[in-house]
Structure 1
Amino acid sequence: MPKSPWGFRGILQSRHVVEKLVCYSIGNGSKIDFWKQLWHPDGIISNLSSDRSLSECINSNATVMDLLHEGECDPILHLPHMKYLKDIIDRGILNLREENFHIWKPNENGEFSIKSVWHSVRLKKPKPPWSSVVWFSGAIPRHTFTCWLAMWGRLLTSDKLIKFGIQASPFCPLCIHGSESINHLFFQCSYSKWIWETILRKLNIRRSKDVAEDVDWIIDQFGDKGQLSTAVKLLFQATIYNIWHERNNRTHGKQKNAGVGGVIRNHEGRSIKMFSLKVRIGSIHLLELQAILHGLRLARNHNLTNIWVESDLLVAVNVVLKKFKYPWKGIPTLAKIYKVLAGTNSWCISHIWCEANSVADFLSKPDCGIKGDNLNTESAPPLLLDLMALDSMGAIYTRL
């Protein structure tokens, strides 16, 4: 059936599973296929019989009625395997006065239902302990589905993609520093952990244990039905859903606003030029590569030939250093970076923690209040001037 919908063709391919659940009550046998349908208690005749003489004497499309003569086996067909037909006659199963009808074996009353099909073909397993946190009345379907995938560990995080041989950044796009996995996102990541703890504080709930244990905690404390129980479960699912949604936005470049920024310093650490640009939306790693490219071009335009690049995204640093390959979307930007670097006398690139990169971080925000690709430091807002002054004085930044 080439014109049939894909879903319907898939259902048809499962007929062999359902056929075993259907049997026939034989009336006159006019509509029952002798060979292919389950009309005999022992099974389908084509599966029971391997005698070629029987298949040569009886037409492949024959019905049970075709082999009868006045309620008995046709006397012309004296074959050993006609015992199947004689058997139902001797048992009194055959009733020429009635029509044939189907019997659906999974139901005691013999009637068909979709529910009985599902219970017959599905693989039955005991409910997991967290089922009450995922499936409950009033849950939002899309939140429930995402939470269900997370509980089974089926969300395609970077660690899984890498195992499948797909090139992906191993770092969490939310906190940048951790390796992305289900356990990291929910809730070892500092970003997601802060969100969940903030929600709990709004509910006046104080938790001292690791938030990764909160599923068990919800089951113990809010397993019973009630408004507070439903509210906590809804908030938990909404947190899972929105963290995963934000992760996808950052990974696949679906943020509504995106910007890149950077600052050019001389050998004394004094800021001499800076840039803050709105760019085409991309992944956080691609945005960092674009920022590096623009900073290199700006430095070369001011005849700087000995360049030291600092980036607070370790993935971008390793990509430029060719420590691992980047997906194809970043190849054109990388080629441009290497072209600019080829025109320098010397260059190096290193990782810097975001706490010590506050000026570039400020300039990369879309709403920082200053935009341009070749900005003088005198045009910076007061807050940015204070940050640059701290840098020029050699301020020491501590990462807690």
Structure 2
Amino acid sequence: MFLIKQSNFWSLPTNGLHSWSWRQILLLRPVAKEHLIYKCGRGDKFSLWFDPWMHGESVHTLYGHRVIHDPLLGRLALVKEVIKEGRWDWPANSTDLVDIQLTVQDIPISSTSDSIFWVALGCSLSTKLAWQSIRARSAEVGWHRLVWHPARIPKHAFCLWLAMRRAHRTRDKLLAWGVISSASCVFNYGEVESLEHLFFHCPFSHNIWGAVLSMCNILRPISQWSDEVQWMLDHARGHKFPTLVRKLAFAASVYHIWLERNRRCFKNEFMPAQEIIDRIKHDVALKLWLGRKTQRCEWHHSLCENWGIPLGEKT
């Protein structure tokens, strides 16, 4: 709302000294205008020339730049400059101004302040509504609750989301793009680094994920990435404590393995597997302890001991 209330927002050029981010916002003005409804009140907030208050368009768009100079009101004039005693009162200095006076007669004036609505009168603008209106919706994916559950750790969830979309720039992709000359796994096991190799075919990450599963009281063979995802989808449904542990553990494992991969690639620093496991354990335990009270039963008691979560209730 702050942006669209500025008197010069609709007239700013998209080039010049503006930052890249600001230029991208300015390029979205036509999209915003399709959904915005400007409702005149007493004319105290809208730019007379540049806000699209006149039947969805601005005076400047309809009549050009010259019309600004004809009434001698200046570029910063507000709509209230042409309202007197509750009626439209445009100067008759030119044929354009006379035409505007006739055009605005069906636009009601009131004693309330000017208002801007989104899509329909009475509907206030919010970032959520704006995003839902302008984005292209895709089909819902089956793994979204595994990634975007309420108890997620944001940076872990984002990393897992990239993995689910196969968007991580693994070395096999970089080799295909000609960025690097070798796609060998940075964990020094002699195989090509791909998403499937990294999660969790590589012996280094395989051992980490196996240790994490053990802390979840899960003993089973580790399979390829797509099978591990499917197993998580089948065994991490709902909001019970063991389910939450599995979701957090899975995302934390993907995050810290990818972090270690980048550490070795870009910093030439190496962290032993046990320290990575300890960091996964720390992140999950802290989130569980801060996020909810531990439930007292034999199964949860075992999980809490595995992850180092105090059994007493939070104070």
* Alignment TM-score, normalising by the size of structure 1: 0.52
Output the amino acid matched with 2:253. T
**Offset at 1:33?**
2.6
Once the two structures are superposed, residues 305-342 of structure 1 have per-residue CA deviations (whole angstroms, 9 ceiling, x without a partner) of xxxxxxxxxxxxxxxxxxxxxxxxxxxxxxxxxxxxxx
Counterpart among 254, 269, 279 of residue 269 in structure 2 = 254
Structure 2 distance, partners of 1:104, 1:207, is 56
Structure 2 distance, partners of 1:217, 1:256, is 28
State the partner residue of 2:153: 140
Contact 1:22 1:102 in 2 (8 A): no
Counterpart among 17, 20, 27 of residue 41 in structure 2 = 27
**Offset at 1:92?**
5.5
- Tell me the secondary structure at the aligned position of residue 38 of structure 2: strand
Q: Which has the larger radius of gyration?
A: 1
Structure 2 distance, partners of 1:169, 1:111, is 54
State the partner residue of 2:102: 86
Structure 1 distance, partners of 2:24, 2:225, is 43
Contact 1:187 1:212 in 2 (8 A): no
Q: Does 1:182 align with 2:195?
A: yes
State the partner residue of 2:92: 76
- Tell me the secondary structure at the aligned position of residue 103 of structure 1: strand
State the partner residue of 1:374: none
State the partner residue of 1:196: 209
Output the amino acid matched with 2:102. K
Structure 2 distance, partners of 1:198, 1:65, is 70
Matches for 1:2-21 after TM superposition, within 5 Å: 9=22, 13=26, 16=29, 18=32, 21=35
Once the two structures are superposed, residues 193-237 of structure 1 have per-residue CA deviations (whole angstroms, 9 ceiling, x without a partner) of 343344435524424754531112211232222122112112211
Matches for 1:39-188 after TM superposition, within 5 Å: 39-49=53-63, 54=67, 57-58=70-71, 61=75, 62-67=77-82, 71-74=87-90, 76-77=92-93, 79=95, 82-89=98-105, 91=106, 93-95=108-110, 98-106=111-119, 109-167=122-180, 169-188=182-201
Once the two structures are superposed, residues 78-104 of structure 1 have per-residue CA deviations (whole angstroms, 9 ceiling, x without a partner) of 626754442332x26134xx2541222
Matches for 1:281-360 after TM superposition, within 5 Å: none
- Tell me the secondary structure at the aligned position of residue 104 of structure 1: strand
How many residues align? The count is 251
Once the two structures are superposed, residues 169-208 of structure 1 have per-residue CA deviations (whole angstroms, 9 ceiling, x without a partner) of 3101124321112222112323323433444355244247
Output the amino acid matched with 1:250. R
Larger proportion of strand: 1
Contact 2:166 2:195 in 1 (8 A): yes
Larger proportion of helix: 2
State the partner residue of 2:247: 233
**Offset at 1:152?**
1.8
Structure 2 distance, partners of 1:176, 1:208, is 18
Structure 2 distance, partners of 1:198, 1:38, is 61
Deviates more, 1:35-44 or 1:113-122: 113-122
- Tell me the secondary structure at the aligned position of residue 174 of structure 1: coil
Output the amino acid matched with 2:116. I
Structure 1 distance, partners of 2:83, 2:260, is 71
Output the amino acid matched with 1:93. P
Q: Does 1:222 align with 2:236?
A: yes
Contact 1:29 1:65 in 2 (8 A): yes
Contact 1:175 1:189 in 2 (8 A): no
Matches for 1:203-218 after TM superposition, within 5 Å: 203-207=217-221, 210-218=224-232
Structure 1 distance, partners of 2:212, 2:102, is 75
Structure 1 distance, partners of 2:139, 2:99, is 45
- Tell me the secondary structure at the aligned position of residue 116 of structure 2: strand
Output the amino acid matched with 1:254. E
Distance 1:72 1:194, change over 3 A: closer
Distance 1:120 1:58, change over 3 A: farther
Distance 1:102 1:168, change over 3 A: farther
Contact 2:196 2:225 in 1 (8 A): no
CA RMSD of aligned residues (A): 3.7
Unaligned 5+ runs, structure 1: 258-400
